[in-house]
Amino acid sequence: MKYQILFIAWITGLFSGIEIYAQNCHATLYGTVTDAETKDPVPYAEVFLPQTGQGKITDEKGRFVFTELCEGKYTVTCQHIGCSHQSKNINLVGEMSLNFQLTHETFDLGEVVIMEKAIAPKAAQAERSLENAALDAAKGQTLGDMLKKLPGVTTLNTGGTISKPVIRGMHSNRVLMLNNGVRQEGQQWGADHAPEIDPYIAGKVSVVYGANSVRYGADAIGGVVVVEPDPLRTKKGTGGEVQLAGFSNGRSGAFSGLLNFNTGGKIPLAGRVQGTLRRGGNLRAPDYYLENTGVSEANYAATLGLQRERWQSEVFFSQFFTRNSIFKGSHIGNLTDLQNAIDRGRPLDDGSFSYELGRPQQRVAHYLLKVKNQLKTGSAGKLTLQYARQFNRREEFDAHKRFNEVPSNFDNPEMMFEITTHTIDAAWEHKSWRHFTGSIGAQLVGQVNTTDRGGLIPDFNSRTAGIFWIERWRKYPLPLEFEAGVRYDARWLDVGNRGRDVIDMQLNFNNFSGTLGAIYKVNDEFDIRLHAGSAWRAPGVNELFSDGVHHGSASYEKGRSDLKAEQAVTTSLTFDFDNERNFSASLSLYRNFIRDFIYLQPQQQPVLTIRGAFPSFAYEQTDARLTGLDWNANWKPIPQLTLTSSASLLRARNQADGEWINLMPADRFRQGVRWEFGKDRKRKQWQESYAGVSAVHVFEQTRAPENQDFAPPPPAFTLFDFEAGTSLQFGNNKANIGLAVQNIFNTAYRDYLNRLRYYSDEMGRNVSVRLKMTF
C-alpha cells in the first residue's frame, strides 16, 4: 500500500509540482487521530501527503504535524492497522487543523483448522511394535513368525506352516488377539490353531507384555497382540498399494492389493478394499523334503467409514480362508513305527516337491463383521459402541482311510467345529478432569460351538459379561504418572454332548481383575515403568473335556473336567532409554505367579487308535512361577551403521514339586548389524537403501522335566539371516524392494516348541524377494 501511494505521489507531483512550489511554502498542517467509537487517541497511525511524498506517524497522543508546506490543494490520507482507511481533500492556507476518526474493521479470515495427532501416553507395561519398513519386511509370513523378532516372543509350531505367538512362555487362550479392535474368537485352543488374521491387513502390530485383563478382558494373562490397520484416507481421492512376495523354500508366493478412497464433499465417505492370495508347496529341510507341507490362502477385507463433526461410524468385514497340509511323516500306523520314527529322526524317504495339498490337512474359514460408532459427548468425552459377529469353521482331515471306505475327496473331514461369537462393547472415555483421564465400559460375549464331526471336544454355549473402570493421572510437568483399573467378569458355560458321550454340565466362573502402574520420567531420555496386575482365566472346553485324536497336531489329548480357573499375579519393571540420536535400550524384568496353572503334560505311553499311533498328552494343573527378562538395544556409532542386540530368558517352575514346566521356550540371543546407504545423489530416485546381517542363538532347553517327553529337547543352534532393501521414487509413486535370506548356511536344527520335532528337522535355507508399490 505504501509503495502504491508513493507512486501516485510521484505521478501527481510530476504535473502539479511547478504550481505548488511556486507559491508560499511556509504553511503548517496539524491534527489528531482518534478512535471513532471510544474517542481515544490512536498512536502510530500513518498520515500521508501523496502530492509531496511526505508522511508522519502519530505520537502516543495521536498527534501529527507537517511544516514548511506550500499553500494549495492536497489529498491527506490516514491509515492504521485494523482500522478503515480514510482520505480527505483540503485547500491549505497558512496554518490549518485536520482531525481523523478511524473506525475498527472486522476481517473474516475464514476457518483455520490445525490438526495433529496427539502423542499417546506410554503404557505402564512393556510394549513393542512392528511398523513401517520392519513390518513390510516381515509380511508374507504367518503372524506368529512375523513377531519372532520381538524380544520375549517365540512361536509354538506345528510343522513349518502353522505357528502361533508365545509371549513369555504363554500362548493360546492366555494370549489375547485384538484384530482391528475386536477380540479374535475362534478355535484357538490347539497348538496347531494359528490366528486367523491376514498380516497384510496390518499397518501396525504391537505386543503388550503381561496381564492386561482390565483393558481387554479376562484371560489376557500372558499378553495382548494388537493388529491395527492404517487409518482411513482423510483427503479426497484414491490411493493404494500392491505387494508381492516370493519364497524359494516351498516355492511359495503371496500377492496383496489394497485400495483407499475418500469421496469428499458434504458426506465424505472413506473406505478401503484389500485382498490377499498365498500359495506354497512342500517345504524342504536341509537334507530332504517335508512331504505334504503346502499351504493355500485367500483373504479379503472391506471397510467403510463416515466422519462428521461430533460422530463417526465404521463398518468392517473380512474373510480369512486357509488350507494347511500337515507333514505326512507325523501320522504313524502303529506303536513300533512311532518309536522307530522318533529314534530314526528323519522321514523314511527324502520326498519330492509338490503343490498338492494332501491328507492330513486342515481347512479354516473365519468371517468377521464389525460395526463401530463413536459420539462426542459435548466437552466431557467420547462414547464408543461396537458390535462384532464372528463365525469360525475348522475342518480336520485324517491321513488314513476310513474303515471299509476310501475317501475320494476332501469333503468328508474327520472333525469339524463351528463357533459363532457375538460381542458387544460399550465404553465412555472422559477428557482430563483434575489431571485424570480414563474410561468406563462393559462387554458382553456370547458363543455357540457345535462339533459337527468327530468327538474331540463337546458342543457348548457360553456367555461372558464384564465391566471395567480404568484411570490415569498425569500432571505436566511432574515426571510421575499413575494408572489404576479394576474389572469384574463372569462366565457361564453350558456343555452338551461330545460325540455319543453325554456330558450335560453347567459351569460358572467369576472373578475380579486389577492393574496398578506407574511411570517415572527421569529425564527426556530415560524413564522407568513399574506394573502389577491380577488376572484370571477360566479353563477352556478343550482343557476340560478333550478326549481323542487331535489330527492337526498329530497327538492324542485328554482333558480334566475338575480343572479350576487360573489366578495370576504379574509384576514387571521396565527401564527405557532413548536419546533419539544414536542409542536406545530397554530392559524388562518380570515375575508371574499363576495359581492352578493348566498345562499339557506328555504321557509315558503313546496311544494306539484305529487312526494310528499318536503321542499322548493330558491336561494337568499346578501352581507355577515364571520369571525372566527381555532385553533390546540399538546403537548407531555412526549415522549409517546400526548395531542391534536382544535377548529373552525365562525360568518356569512347578511350585508343587519344584520341577521345571515343559514346553517353555529356551533362552535366545539375537545380534545384528545394518548399514544404511542413504540417498544416491546421482540417481535421486534411489532412496533408503540398506543391508544387514543378524544371528540368533537358541540354547538347548535344559530346564525341562526328565523322562516326561517322547524325545529329549534338541541341542542348541545358531542361525544367520541376511536382509537388504531399497526404495525407488517414480513421481508420486514409490516402490520398496526387499531381499532376505533366512538360515544362510542351511543349518539342520530342531525347535523345542515345534510339536512335530519328533519326526523331522526344521525348514532349511529360504530366499525371499518382496516388492511393494504405492500409488
Band (pLDDT 50/70/90 cuts) for residue 551 is low
pLDDT at 203 exceeding the cut of 50: yes
pLDDT at 388 exceeding the cut of 60: yes
| Mean per-residue pLDDT, 670-699 | 80
pLDDT in tens, 15-72: 343 333 345 688 889 999 998 888 888 888 999 998 888 889 998 889 999 988 888 8
Task: Judge if 480 and 601 occupy the same domain.
Answer: yes
What 3-state class would DSSP assign to 326?
A: coil
Q: Determine the structural domain holding residue 422 and report its residue range.
A: 226-231+239-774
Q: 50: domain CATH number? A: 2.60.40.10
Task: Judge if 56 and 112 occupy the same domain.
Answer: yes
Band (pLDDT 50/70/90 cuts) for residue 221 is confident
Band (pLDDT 50/70/90 cuts) for residue 412 is confident
* DSSP assigned state of 229: P
By the 8 A CB rule, do 766 and 169 touch? no
How many Å apart are CA 49 and CA 53, to the nearest integer? 6
Task: Kindly state the cell numbers that stand for 273.
Answer: 478394499
Task: Judge if 219 and 323 occupy the same domain.
Answer: no
How many Å apart are CA 328 and CA 612, to the nearest integer? 12
Q: 294: domain CATH number? A: 2.40.170.20
Residue in 457, 449, 326, 347 with CA at minimum distance from that of residue 397: 326
Residue 466 has a pLDDT of 94
pLDDT at 262 exceeding the cut of 90: yes
pTM assigned to the model: 0.79
Residue 593 has a pLDDT of 95
Residue 402 has a pLDDT of 43
Spatial CB neighbours of 412, under 8 Å, sequence gap ≥ 6: none
Residue 309 has a pLDDT of 80
- For residue 43, say if its preceding peptide bond is cis, omega within 30 degrees of 0: no
Task: Judge if 246 and 183 occupy the same domain.
Answer: no
Q: What is the dihedral of CA 375, 378, 381, 387, to 10 degrees?
A: -20
Task: Judge if 755 and 724 occupy the same domain.
Answer: yes
Residue 123 has a pLDDT of 66
Q: How many domains does the chain have?
A: 3
Taking 3-state DSSP, the helix, strand and coil percentages for the chain, each rounded to the nearest 5, stand at 10, 55, 35
Task: Judge if 329 and 411 occupy the same domain.
Answer: yes
Task: Judge if 208 and 293 occupy the same domain.
Answer: no
By the 8 A CB rule, do 178 and 202 touch? no
Which of 225, 251, 280 delimits the end of a domain? 225
Decide if 17 is inside a domain: yes
pLDDT in tens, 69-123: 888 889 999 998 878 888 999 988 888 889 999 887 754 444 444 444 444 556 6
Decide if 121 is inside a domain: no
Task: Judge if 202 and 298 occupy the same domain.
Answer: no
The strand ranges marked E within 434-559 are 436-453, 460-474, 480-498, 501-521, 526-537, 547-550, 555-558
Residue 134 has a pLDDT of 80
Band (pLDDT 50/70/90 cuts) for residue 550 is confident
How many Å apart are CA 30 and CA 95, to the nearest integer? 8
Residue 241 has a pLDDT of 93
Mean pLDDT is lowest, of 6-15, 229-238, 438-447, for: 6-15
Task: Judge if 326 and 458 occupy the same domain.
Answer: yes
Whole-number mean pLDDT of the chain?
A: 85
| Mean per-residue pLDDT, 193-201 | 87
What is the DSSP track for 159-218?
A: TTTEEEEEETTB-GGGEEEEETTEE--SS--STT------GGG-SEEEEEES--HHHH-T
The label of the residue with cell 502504491 reads 4
Which of 162, 190, 225 delimits the end of a domain? 225
Task: Judge if 534 and 677 occupy the same domain.
Answer: yes
Task: Judge if 173 and 251 occupy the same domain.
Answer: no
Band (pLDDT 50/70/90 cuts) for residue 333 is low
Residue 374 has a pLDDT of 93
pLDDT at 665 exceeding the cut of 70: yes
Residue 100 has a pLDDT of 92
Residues facing residue 629 across a β-bridge:
589, 649
Task: Kindly state the cell numbers that stand for 498.
Answer: 461330545
| Mean per-residue pLDDT, 702-715 | 85
How long a stretch of residues is the chain? 775
pLDDT at 454 exceeding the cut of 90: no
Residue 404 has a pLDDT of 41
Task: Judge if 80 and 131 occupy the same domain.
Answer: no
Q: 143: domain CATH number? A: 2.170.130.10
